[in-house]
Amino acid sequence: MDKKPSRRPPIDSAWRRLASQWWWLAIPSVVVGSLFAVWILFNEAGREMRYGEFKKKLVAHEIKSVKIGPTEIRGELTQKPVGARTARFHVARVGLENNDPDLARLLDQNIAEGAWEAETGPSIAESVVLPFVLLAAMMGGFWVMLRRSGGVGSALAFTKSRHKVYQKDERRITFDDVAGNAEAVAELREVVDFLRTPEKFRALGGRIPKGVLLVGLPGTGKTLLAKAVAGEAGVPFFSLSGSDFVEMFVGVGAARVRSLFAQAETKSPCLIFIDELDALGKARGSGGPGGHDERDQTLNQLLVQMDGFDANRGIIVIAATNRPETLDAALVRPGRFDRQIVVDRPDLVGREDILKVHARTVALDDGIDLRQIAAMTSGFVGADLASLVNEAALLAARKGKPKVSHVEFEEGVERVIAGPEKRQRVIRHDERLRIAYHEAGHALVARSLPGTDPVHKVSILGRGNGALGYTMYRPEDDRFLHTRAWLENTICSLLGGTIAEELIFNDVSDGCASDLQRATQIARRMVTEFGMSPTLGRVSYQTEGRSPFIPGGGSNSYEWSEQTAREIDLEVRRLLDQAQAATRKLLKERRAALEEITAVLMERDTIDATELQAVLDRHPHDSHAA
């Protein structure tokens, strides 16, 4: 789904080109540096000698050449001493010896003319140029290291934001390019309306969204959605990744955020898209030892900027993440990313639509049935489908076929599944069947019992949060109170998943933990907080909410006996057992409906409220029997 638009060179490309040319300076610097090091090695000073010994050797003609420097005498012996690495030697000039009047005469007498000279000190080359070259070499080496480690990219353009800007006149991506995400598109239309006519919203004085968080697995098309919003609204699109902000040097990321918003303000109305928000938006202080000052500062700056800009100016920030639970709580507070849109995995119909979009650019065989290909690819996300189409086209090309046919798609599916990223894309058939029965069980029980929240959607495509399947309820907005019947029936629908598994497979799975936890919690509160147990009476057995600072308010001082505590446990148990029996009876009676809902789920991955109603209508039941 993530089709790359033909993009114009980004505005700061000149900077980056410069930075990438500077990189070549590193190579000569390193070469010069190493040459210098070698030169030093070869100029090894050799053996240290005392002045007296030097004079003796001079007289004995054992010295070939000498250089008299201001602080030392360096020279070479006529013969390399046995076992030494070099014939060189040096003598420190200290004290009286410095001004030995004999020295010049001795040298003249014992060494060939021209083989001794006086040095006045290091040459200009040595004292000025060499340190500079050395420094340059070190910086060059450092630069290369940074480039290698992927740390600082264009370290020259430190605070320059590295976002890409998409201008109006590019090929616009619109909602037509987005397939299989109908719900997310519907929610984003409002954002488009605002970007198109900010004045209208301003005049009405309504609260305008500042930030929208797209939550979904990698490859589900979050970036594409954001581009489509910009494309539909015809506004510039600033795009960058959260990881671009996090740098090696404290303060750089924060400066980038400022620069980004400053630029955006000059182009409003416009849209800022931050991919991988979790890279910079992780809960503050969650870094390891030493902390993450840089990231925290960057995050703070982002919060400041989001609070600072007036929503009426027409800037909207859309961010994407696949781990919303790791985000700092401050990011999702009102006035920031207060709107979350879930971008789910596409279901059968969604996958077919996505395949249609990608097939626009590929020559397909006439006999091809995209629905059938969609059916083979349960669990694939948009990006997977894009690479499937690509693989199939490559395979056809390799075989010299003019058109892509079904065989290539089948082969392509396997390639994508076995692809480089080891992401769980497909679920074993037997597990998928179990998940389908489980969710069908929840849905059927919920729809069969009066008063419970209506089922909005059931899916056996896992969510990013780790759930393998889910039944989504649409709570009635205006409900503030829950009756005893509602609570009991809700327990039943929570148990419905496991009991459906038990009914069909004669065995249950460990996937029910969270269902069971919620059911138990409701039952316990019915007994201890709501006074709904006939045996324990209309009494509150609450332990929470009392202050530990008030004497007698501590949680250890029970206000009821051990006997009562046991009765509470038994009563909770009785409520759950009762609900379980009722649920089992119900599912047995409506087994035909259970089977059909499961069949729909197995075929299409999801079922919505209308389709569910249609199935139930085919299998009527007097719903008040339970």
Our finding on whether 435 is near ligand NHX (CB under 6 A) is yes
Q: Which of 14, 118, 467, 581 binds ligand NHX (CB under 6 A)?
A: 467
Largest CA distance in the chain: 129
Stretch that binds Zn ion, among 7-15, 127-135, 448-456, 507-515 (CB under 5 A): 507-515
Nearer Cβ to ligand NHX (400/466): 466
Angle at 621 between CA 454 and CA 446, to 5 degrees: 25
Our finding on whether 497 is near Zn ion (CB under 5 A) is yes
Angle at 586 between CA 582 and CA 591, to 5 degrees: 150
Q: Which residue has the tokens 């995400």?
A: 181
Our finding on whether 78 is near ligand NHX (CB under 6 A) is no
Q: Which residue has the tokens 């960058």?
A: 240
Q: Shortest CA distance to 471 belongs to which of 511, 427, 428, 440?
A: 440
**Residue 468 binding target from Zn ion, ligand NHX, none, CB below 5 to 8 Å by type:** ligand NHX
Q: How far is the CB of 7 from Zn ion (least distance, A)?
A: 44
Tell me what percent of the chain is helix, strand and coil, each rounded to the nearest 5.
55, 10, 35
Cα separation, 100 vs 54, whole angstroms: 13
Stretch that binds Zn ion, among 118-126, 257-265, 334-342, 509-517 (CB under 5 A): 509-517
**Residue 617 binding target from Zn ion, ligand NHX, none, CB below 5 to 8 Å by type:** none
Residues binding ligand NHX: what is the number (CB under 6 A)?
18
Nearer Cβ to ligand NHX (58/435): 435
Q: Shortest CA distance to 412 belongs to which of 380, 429, 428, 390?
A: 390
Which CA distances in Å does 451 have to 181, 312, 455, 498? 31, 43, 12, 21
Our finding on whether 469 is near ligand NHX (CB under 6 A) is yes
Q: How far is the CB of 431 from ligand NHX (least distance, A)?
A: 8
Q: Which of 267, 282, 425, 438 binds ligand NHX (CB under 6 A)?
A: 438
Nearer Cβ to ligand NHX (108/431): 431
Could you give the string, one character per residue 496-515, with x where binding to ligand NHX holds by CB under 6 A and - elsewhere? -x-----------xxxx-xx
Stretch that binds ligand NHX, among 223-231, 245-253, 436-444, 572-580 (CB under 6 A): 436-444
Q: How far is the CB of 503 from Zn ion (least distance, A)?
A: 14
Q: Which of 268, 298, 471, 528 binds ligand NHX (CB under 6 A)?
A: 471
- Phi/psi of residue 606, nearest 5 degrees: -135, 165
Q: Quick one: tokens of 462?
A: 């896992």
In the beta sheet, which residues pair with residue 72? Answer: 92
Nearer Cβ to Zn ion (353/488): 488
Q: Using CB positions, name the residue nearest to ligand NHX.
A: 511
Cβ-count burial of 396 within 10 angstroms (0-12 exposed, 13-18 middle, 19+ buried)?
buried
421 included as an active-site residue: no
Q: How far is the CB of 269 from ligand NHX (least distance, A)?
A: 37
**Residue 237 binding target from Zn ion, ligand NHX, none, CB below 5 to 8 Å by type:** none
Cα separation, 68 vs 502, whole angstroms: 99
Angle at 231 between CA 230 and CA 234, to 5 degrees: 80
**What is the secondary structure of 387-437 as a DSSP string?**
HHHHHHHHHHHHTT-SSB-HHHHHHHHHHHHTSSS-------HHHHHHHHH
470-473/63-68 β-pairing: unpaired
Q: Which of 247, 352, 439, 488 binds ligand NHX (CB under 6 A)?
A: 439
Nearer Cβ to Zn ion (208/601): 601
Which CA distances in Å does 615 have to 193, 203, 231, 460? 37, 47, 40, 17
Q: How far is the CB of 429 from ligand NHX (least distance, A)?
A: 14
Angle at 261 between CA 255 and CA 262, to 5 degrees: 85
Q: Quick one: tokens of 600?
A: 């729909």
**Residue 350 binding target from ligand NHX, Zn ion, none, CB below 5 to 8 Å by type:** none
Our finding on whether 328 is near ligand NHX (CB under 6 A) is no
Q: How far is the CB of 498 from ligand NHX (least distance, A)?
A: 8
Our finding on whether 437 is near ligand NHX (CB under 6 A) is no
The one catalytic residue in 294, 352, 439, 596 is 439
DSSP H helices, 119-251, are: 124, 130-149, 182-196, 198-204, 222-233, 242-245
Q: How far is the CB of 474 from ligand NHX (least distance, A)?
A: 16
Query: What residues make contact with ligand NHX under the rule CB under 6 A?
Result: 435, 438-439, 442, 465-471, 497, 509-512, 514-515
Query: What residues make contact with Zn ion under the rule CB under 5 A?
Result: 497, 515
Give the residue numbers marked as catalytic. Answer: 439
